[in-house]
Amino acid sequence: MRVSGLFLVLLVATALATACGHGEEGTPGKIAFESDRDGSRHIYVMNADGSGQTKLTDRGENANTVWSPDGTRIAFTSDRDGNFEIYVMNADGSGLTRLTDNPASDIRPTWSPDGSRIAFFSDRSGNFEMYVMNADGLGVTSLTGTHAINLAHAWSPDGSRFAFSSYRDDNVDIYVMNADGSGLTRLTHDPWNDEFDRYSSSPWSPDGKRIAFVSDRDGNDDIFVVNADGSGETRLTKTPADEGRFGFAWSPDGQRIAFRSYRDGEFGTTEVDIRIMNADGTGQTVLSDVRGSEQAPAWSPDGSRIAFISGGISEQGRIYELYVVNADGTGLARLTSSVVDESFPVWQPAEE
């Protein structure tokens, strides 16, 4: 049984975040991203054309970047005070506030859709479990207590439920529960690994009716969708290649899914593409043609563009750069050129 390595890299992974932007309609705003260009892992923001790159954090290792739903704040994980804790700051880096203060590691923050609460993982009980707190850090409540390996988690679009992947019963499956931890329901029941990962945007369709995930049940990774009640499970990709791991994302209108595909290369090679398909699995096409290992697709809020990273591992280490491309595959542009690890683009949410 192949167990995902996602759990091993939780501390340096980005939070699940909806791929959206900020500003007037048709004018996507800033993109937050993580970079080690200054020797440590820091959070930066830039304009959608790559200009105005600004460093927001000043010390420690910083990761798990996620915008608040109104685009005014950023939650993230940092070890600046000795261990990994959850912090928030304003969109310009000011107003830094530490939300958790525990000897354990608190990681992977995600905002509730109304911005009033933040869910996160913590090993304060000896195992990484899900917790939720108010956006000011008060009212910390444990949601899981199974001593299972709990992986990625995501709020439903209406904030009433969570979807998460968890290693229980000798494999990883998809679960949902109410936002208070009640009503736990297992959605997948096969003896293989069903999960969504740190490189992906929310697995929930924008209307909250379906959940996308990656499964290796057929011998390779493929993308599946299932209704939020566990019915209607459908396989979307059907090639011998690995599809979806290290990144898939619903379009804001729920009509399409961008995803990472190995079908033009082998696992571990640098010939990996971002592809796009309709939500029913039809119309699969290559979106970008960058020669590298492409990952972490993220849609702009109006659905017109997709940001992603491309690169690979070299003698100098992990080197990835950020790119953006129109949703029809035109207008490919490289946004960073630092020859370091630039990762996890997250679009600033649009104003209501």
Classified as helix, coil or strand, 91 is coil
Using CA of residue 35, residue 40, residue 43, residue 46, what is the dihedral sign?
A: negative
pTM > 0.85: yes
Per domain, the residue ranges of the chain are 6-347
Cβ(25)–Cβ(35) below 8 Å? no
Q: How far apart are CA 52 and CA 32, in angstroms?
A: 11
Q: How far apart are CA 75 and CA 122, in angstroms?
A: 15
Cβ(34)–Cβ(342) below 8 Å? yes
| Residue 9 structure tokens | 């890299």
Give me the average pLDDT of each 10-residue run along the chain (352 residues). 36 38 51 94 97 96 96 97 96 98 94 97 90 97 84 93 89 94 93 79 94 91 95 93 85 96 60 91 89 88 94 79 95 92 92 63
Cα-Cα end-to-end distance for the chain: 45
Cβ(64)–Cβ(13) below 8 Å? yes
Using CA of residue 309, residue 311, residue 312, residue 316, what is the dihedral sign?
A: negative
**Topology of 6-347 in CATH?**
Neuraminidase (2.120.10)
Helix (H) or strand (E) holding 247: strand 243-250
* Other CB atoms within 10 A of residue 274 CB: 27
pLDDT of amino acid 143: 94
Burial class (CB in 10 A: 0-12, 13-18, 19+), 178: middle
